[in-house]
Protein backbone atom coordinates (compact mmCIF):
# COMPACT_ATOMS: atom_id res chain seq x y z
CA UNK A 1 0.00 0.00 0.00
CA UNK A 2 1.60 3.21 -1.15
CA UNK A 3 2.13 5.86 1.52
CA UNK A 4 2.87 9.51 0.93
CA UNK A 5 4.75 11.31 3.68
CA UNK A 6 4.86 15.08 3.91
CA UNK A 7 7.09 17.28 6.02
CA UNK A 8 7.02 19.45 7.93
CA UNK A 9 3.53 19.13 9.39
CA UNK A 10 3.37 22.87 9.79
CA UNK A 11 5.51 25.77 8.72
CA UNK A 12 5.60 29.47 9.49
CA UNK A 13 7.42 31.83 7.15
CA UNK A 14 7.55 35.62 7.11
CA UNK A 15 5.89 37.51 4.31
CA UNK A 16 8.30 37.72 1.40
CA UNK A 17 10.18 34.64 2.56
CA UNK A 18 10.69 31.23 0.96
CA UNK A 19 8.55 28.27 1.97
CA UNK A 20 9.88 24.78 1.26
CA UNK A 21 7.67 21.71 1.55
CA UNK A 22 8.66 18.07 1.15
CA UNK A 23 6.93 14.92 0.00
CA UNK A 24 8.13 11.33 -0.34
CA UNK A 25 6.40 8.24 -1.68
CA UNK A 26 6.97 4.76 -0.32
CA UNK A 27 6.31 3.14 -3.70
CA UNK A 28 9.29 2.64 -6.00
CA UNK A 29 6.92 2.66 -8.97
CA UNK A 30 5.72 6.20 -8.31
CA UNK A 31 5.48 8.02 -11.59
CA UNK A 32 3.41 11.15 -10.99
CA UNK A 33 3.18 13.75 -8.23
CA UNK A 34 0.70 16.53 -7.75
CA UNK A 35 0.72 19.47 -5.36
CA UNK A 36 -2.59 20.91 -4.20
CA UNK A 37 -3.47 23.88 -2.05
CA UNK A 38 -6.53 23.87 0.15
CA UNK A 39 -7.76 26.99 1.90
CA UNK A 40 -9.86 26.50 4.99
CA UNK A 41 -13.37 25.31 4.16
CA UNK A 42 -12.62 24.96 0.46
CA UNK A 43 -11.84 22.07 -1.86
CA UNK A 44 -8.24 21.50 -2.98
CA UNK A 45 -6.96 23.27 -6.07
CA UNK A 46 -4.10 21.83 -8.08
CA UNK A 47 -0.98 23.95 -8.12
CA UNK A 48 1.40 21.85 -10.17
CA UNK A 49 2.05 18.35 -11.32
CA UNK A 50 5.36 16.73 -12.23
CA UNK A 51 6.44 13.40 -13.65
CA UNK A 52 9.93 14.05 -15.02
CA UNK A 53 13.10 14.40 -13.00
CA UNK A 54 14.16 17.96 -12.55
CA UNK A 55 12.45 21.22 -11.89
CA UNK A 56 9.30 22.94 -13.01
CA UNK A 57 8.52 26.58 -12.34
CA UNK A 58 5.27 28.50 -12.55
CA UNK A 59 5.36 32.02 -11.24
CA UNK A 60 6.40 31.98 -7.58
CA UNK A 61 6.06 28.21 -7.34
CA UNK A 62 8.83 25.73 -8.15
CA UNK A 63 8.55 21.97 -7.93
CA UNK A 64 11.51 19.59 -7.87
CA UNK A 65 11.35 15.87 -8.49
CA UNK A 66 13.98 13.25 -7.79
CA UNK A 67 12.58 9.92 -8.88
CA UNK A 68 15.55 7.96 -7.53
CA UNK A 69 14.73 9.12 -4.01
CA UNK A 70 10.96 9.14 -4.65
CA UNK A 71 10.97 12.72 -3.42
CA UNK A 72 9.37 15.92 -4.55
CA UNK A 73 9.48 19.38 -3.04
CA UNK A 74 7.48 22.55 -3.49
CA UNK A 75 9.09 25.95 -3.02
CA UNK A 76 7.14 29.16 -2.76
CA UNK A 77 9.20 32.31 -3.08
CA UNK A 78 8.06 35.75 -2.00
CA UNK A 79 5.40 34.11 0.17
CA UNK A 80 2.21 36.08 0.70
CA UNK A 81 -0.37 35.87 3.51
CA UNK A 82 -2.81 34.55 0.89
CA UNK A 83 -0.50 31.53 0.48
CA UNK A 84 -1.46 30.44 4.00
CA UNK A 85 -3.24 27.12 3.49
CA UNK A 86 -2.95 23.35 3.72
CA UNK A 87 -0.62 22.00 1.02
CA UNK A 88 -1.29 18.46 -0.07
CA UNK A 89 0.97 16.19 -2.02
CA UNK A 90 -0.52 13.33 -4.01
CA UNK A 91 1.14 10.55 -5.96
CA UNK A 92 0.29 7.74 -8.30
CA UNK A 93 2.34 4.65 -9.03
CA UNK A 94 1.72 3.30 -12.48
CA UNK A 95 -2.04 3.32 -12.38
CA UNK A 96 -5.15 5.33 -11.76
CA UNK A 97 -4.96 5.30 -7.97
CA UNK A 98 -3.85 8.56 -6.39
CA UNK A 99 -2.83 8.66 -2.74
CA UNK A 100 -2.63 11.82 -0.64
CA UNK A 101 -0.21 12.79 2.08
CA UNK A 102 -1.45 14.32 5.31
CA UNK A 103 -0.43 17.81 4.27
CA UNK A 104 1.73 20.69 5.42
CA UNK A 105 -0.03 23.62 7.00
CA UNK A 106 1.66 26.83 5.91
CA UNK A 107 1.23 30.13 7.70
CA UNK A 108 2.71 33.25 6.18
CA UNK A 109 3.00 35.91 8.80
CA UNK A 110 2.60 39.55 7.72
CA UNK B 1 -11.40 23.36 -20.17
CA UNK B 2 -11.76 20.34 -17.94
CA UNK B 3 -14.18 20.71 -15.07
CA UNK B 4 -15.71 18.43 -12.50
CA UNK B 5 -19.08 19.28 -11.01
CA UNK B 6 -20.45 17.83 -7.82
CA UNK B 7 -23.98 17.95 -6.49
CA UNK B 8 -25.13 18.82 -3.92
CA UNK B 9 -22.48 21.15 -2.53
CA UNK B 10 -23.77 20.84 1.01
CA UNK B 11 -26.22 18.48 2.60
CA UNK B 12 -27.50 17.65 6.04
CA UNK B 13 -29.00 14.32 6.93
CA UNK B 14 -30.30 12.71 10.05
CA UNK B 15 -28.31 9.95 11.65
CA UNK B 16 -29.26 6.59 10.17
CA UNK B 17 -30.54 7.98 6.87
CA UNK B 18 -28.85 7.89 3.48
CA UNK B 19 -27.80 10.47 0.98
CA UNK B 20 -26.65 10.37 -2.63
CA UNK B 21 -24.06 12.60 -4.24
CA UNK B 22 -23.18 13.04 -7.89
CA UNK B 23 -20.09 13.83 -9.92
CA UNK B 24 -19.99 15.03 -13.53
CA UNK B 25 -16.86 15.42 -15.66
CA UNK B 26 -17.14 18.07 -18.36
CA UNK B 27 -14.69 18.85 -21.14
CA UNK B 28 -12.76 15.59 -20.99
CA UNK B 29 -13.31 11.85 -20.89
CA UNK B 30 -12.73 10.55 -17.38
CA UNK B 31 -10.97 7.22 -17.60
CA UNK B 32 -11.22 6.86 -13.84
CA UNK B 33 -13.22 8.37 -11.05
CA UNK B 34 -12.12 8.29 -7.43
CA UNK B 35 -14.14 9.23 -4.38
CA UNK B 36 -12.33 10.65 -1.36
CA UNK B 37 -13.43 11.73 2.08
CA UNK B 38 -11.79 14.40 4.17
CA UNK B 39 -13.00 14.08 7.74
CA UNK B 40 -12.53 16.97 10.15
CA UNK B 41 -8.82 17.45 10.88
CA UNK B 42 -7.84 14.58 8.59
CA UNK B 43 -6.35 14.15 5.17
CA UNK B 44 -8.08 12.76 2.14
CA UNK B 45 -8.89 9.09 2.40
CA UNK B 46 -9.54 7.22 -0.80
CA UNK B 47 -12.91 5.48 -0.60
CA UNK B 48 -13.00 3.75 -3.94
CA UNK B 49 -11.63 3.91 -7.44
CA UNK B 50 -13.70 3.23 -10.53
CA UNK B 51 -11.95 2.74 -13.85
CA UNK B 52 -13.26 2.09 -17.31
CA UNK B 53 -13.89 -1.58 -17.96
CA UNK B 54 -12.92 -2.61 -14.43
CA UNK B 55 -14.82 -3.38 -11.27
CA UNK B 56 -15.00 -0.65 -8.66
CA UNK B 57 -12.24 -1.18 -6.09
CA UNK B 58 -12.87 -0.17 -2.51
CA UNK B 59 -10.12 0.70 -0.06
CA UNK B 60 -9.71 -0.87 3.33
CA UNK B 61 -12.31 0.42 5.80
CA UNK B 62 -14.75 1.27 3.02
CA UNK B 63 -17.29 -1.16 1.54
CA UNK B 64 -19.75 -1.29 -1.29
CA UNK B 65 -22.45 -2.07 1.24
CA UNK B 66 -21.88 1.27 2.91
CA UNK B 67 -20.81 3.42 -0.08
CA UNK B 68 -22.40 2.00 -3.24
CA UNK B 69 -21.06 3.69 -6.37
CA UNK B 70 -22.49 3.87 -9.86
CA UNK B 71 -20.27 4.83 -12.80
CA UNK B 72 -22.48 4.24 -15.85
CA UNK B 73 -20.40 6.23 -18.34
CA UNK B 74 -17.15 8.16 -18.73
CA UNK B 75 -18.59 11.43 -17.51
CA UNK B 76 -20.85 10.59 -14.59
CA UNK B 77 -20.53 8.90 -11.23
CA UNK B 78 -22.68 8.80 -8.13
CA UNK B 79 -22.05 7.56 -4.62
CA UNK B 80 -24.50 6.98 -1.80
CA UNK B 81 -23.64 7.11 1.89
CA UNK B 82 -25.97 4.55 3.42
CA UNK B 83 -27.05 4.70 7.02
CA UNK B 84 -24.95 7.78 7.74
CA UNK B 85 -23.60 8.40 11.21
CA UNK B 86 -21.51 11.10 12.82
CA UNK B 87 -18.22 9.54 11.68
CA UNK B 88 -19.36 9.87 8.05
CA UNK B 89 -19.40 13.66 8.16
CA UNK B 90 -16.86 15.49 6.09
CA UNK B 91 -16.04 16.73 2.63
CA UNK B 92 -16.55 14.14 -0.10
CA UNK B 93 -14.49 14.81 -3.16
CA UNK B 94 -14.78 13.32 -6.59
CA UNK B 95 -11.56 13.19 -8.59
CA UNK B 96 -11.70 12.37 -12.28
CA UNK B 97 -8.64 11.55 -14.33
CA UNK B 98 -7.89 11.57 -18.01
CA UNK B 99 -4.94 9.43 -17.02
CA UNK B 100 -2.36 12.17 -16.59
CA UNK B 101 -4.17 14.93 -14.81
CA UNK B 102 -6.60 14.57 -11.96
CA UNK B 103 -9.36 17.14 -11.67
CA UNK B 104 -11.35 17.62 -8.51
CA UNK B 105 -14.86 18.77 -8.04
CA UNK B 106 -15.75 21.31 -5.36
CA UNK B 107 -16.91 18.56 -3.03
CA UNK B 108 -20.09 17.67 -1.21
CA UNK B 109 -19.98 18.63 2.45
CA UNK B 110 -22.00 16.19 4.52
CA UNK B 111 -23.27 17.07 7.97
CA UNK B 112 -24.90 14.34 10.01
CA UNK B 113 -27.25 15.33 12.83
pLDDT at residue B100 greater than cutoff 90: no
pLDDT at residue B26 greater than cutoff 90: yes
The size of the A-B interface in CB pairs under 8 A is 48
**Between residues B40 and A57, which one has the greater pLDDT?**
A57
* pLDDT tens digits for range B2-11: 889 999 999 9
Judge: A97–B36 Cβ closer than 8 Å, yes or no.
Answer: no
Nearest-angstrom CA–CA distance, A97 and B33 = 9
* Cβ partners under 8 Å of residue B53, min gap 6: none
pLDDT band at A98 (very low <50, low <70, confident <90, very high): confident
User: Cβ of A24: how many Cβ atoms within 10 Å?
Assistant: 20
pLDDT at residue B31, rounded to an integer: 86
Polymer length in residues for chain B: 113
Of A22-31, A58-67, B47-56, B70-79, give the lowest mean pLDDT range: B47-56
pLDDT at residue B52, rounded to an integer: 73
B28 touches A at CB < 8 Å = no
pLDDT at residue B102, rounded to an integer: 82
Residue whose C-alpha is closest to residue B4's, from B108, B80, B110: B108
* Cβ partners under 8 Å of residue B51, min gap 6: A96, B31, B32
- The helix (H) or strand (E) run that includes residue B104 is strand B102-104
pLDDT at residue B72 greater than cutoff 90: no
Give A-chain residues touching B49 at CB under 8 angstroms. 96-97
Give A-chain residues touching B51 at CB under 8 angstroms. 96
Nearest-angstrom CA–CA distance, A67 and A95 = 16
Give A-chain residues touching B102 at CB under 8 angstroms. 34, 46, 90, 98
Nearest-angstrom CA–CA distance, A81 and A99 = 28
* pLDDT tens digits for range A13-61: 999 999 999 999 999 988 899 999 999 888 888 899 998 899 999 999 9
Amino acid sequence: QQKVQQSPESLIVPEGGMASLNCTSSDRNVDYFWWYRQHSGKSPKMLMSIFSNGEKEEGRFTVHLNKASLHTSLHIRDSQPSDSALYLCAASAGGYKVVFGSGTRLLVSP
Amino acid sequence: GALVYQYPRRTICKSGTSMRMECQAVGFQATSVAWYRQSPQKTFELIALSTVNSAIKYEQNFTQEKFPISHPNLSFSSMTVLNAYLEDRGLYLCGARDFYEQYFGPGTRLTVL
